[in-house]
Chain A
Amino acid sequence: MIKLNGTETPYRETIGELLSENHYEMKKIAVLVNGEIVKRENWPVFVLKPGDEVDVVTFVGGG
């Protein structure tokens, strides 16, 4: 399993697969694995480990 935005989600081998499997639109998002940013160009090749915490973030309105 992978913890995606705090929720247990089935394991996928790479960030790219995890995002497309969960129907993310790839533009204007950033991805963190265990709190560290993974650059966009590395998403297709970045290999996840079971239990990794993945956060997908974007900008919202804020003061």
Chain B
Amino acid sequence: MTYQIGGRDLRSRFFIGSGKLPSYRIIPEMVEKAGVEVITVAVRRINPETKQENIMDCIPDHCVIMVNTSGARNAGEAVRIARIGRELTGSDWIKIEVETDAKYLLPDNEETLKATEILVGEGFRVFPYISPDLVMAKKLEKAGAAAVMPLAAPIGTNKGITCAALLKPIINEIEIPVIIDAGIGRPSHAAEAMELGADAVLANTAIATAPDPVTMAVAMAKAVEAGRMAFEMGLLAEKEFADASSPLTGFLRRIE
């Protein structure tokens, strides 16, 4: 079943980041086997002696390219990277990632909001990467963001959903899609994010640094699908005490 995000109809709710991959050449297989439709890329300076394969040659045509502004330290730099991205790809999907904190790579929500306001005005589909803050998510929604991308844990930490109590209010209270991004280290984390009601999940490190990135991408994609299915069906409430699943009559007890 398709859903709408950033003006597109997509099937897959699993987005991948392309950083740290052992080779860009595995991207087509990964995309195909895991059914991926959205992939992020970053912009960097290139020197002529760099004869590395170009990532753009490895991304299948049907994929939506989401340019990531990682490396930007403020709104102005993020806006510049977004414009470069559009110039190079023609894609108007931009993930705003603004960080000044090198240790935890936590996003600067305030600069992210500024960049979002500018880029929405320029016709971009803006996907801001944020710390899970409902008030900020509401401001971004009002500014015209296509979705919000709250983190589950700091980038690359594989810690999973560390702040469900902060993510759930965002999922509950805003209308635009919520993509849980960063910190997803295992398929179970991805499933948990989807069970919470996220519209999609983005993972990068967990896939790219796995012994076999293609297999991990497939495992994540299955988990995302499973979590979504369960969410749509409706999850059952937790109970304090046991509730037997076998009948409580007709036991084979010896009569004394």
Do the two chains bind?
yes
Binding site for B on A (CB under 8 A): 5-6, 22-25, 28-30, 32, 35, 37, 39, 55-63
| Complex-state Cα separation, A24 to B87, whole angstroms | 18
What's the dominant secondary structure at chain B's contact region? mixed
With A24-B48, A58-B44 in contact, is A39–B87 under 8 Å at CB? yes
Cβ-based interface call for B96 (8 A): no
Chain A to chain B: the 8 pairs with minimum beta-carbon distance, closest first? A62-B42, A63-B17, A63-B204, A61-B18, A23-B48, A58-B46, A63-B19, A59-B41
B45 near A56 (CB under 8 angstroms)? yes
B interface residues, how many (CB within 8 angstroms):
35
| Complex-state Cα separation, A37 to B81, whole angstroms | 10
| Complex-state Cα separation, A30 to B74, whole angstroms | 21
Cβ-based interface call for B138 (8 A): no
A63 near B68 (CB under 8 angstroms)? yes
B40 near A28 (CB under 8 angstroms)? no
Known: A56-B47, A59-B55, A63-B155. 7 other contacts (CB 8 A): A23-B49, A24-B46, A25-B48, A28-B88, A32-B80, A57-B84, A59-B43
| Complex-state Cα separation, A56 to B70, whole angstroms | 17
B98 CB to closest chain A CB, in angstroms? 14
| Complex-state Cα separation, A5 to B88, whole angstroms | 18
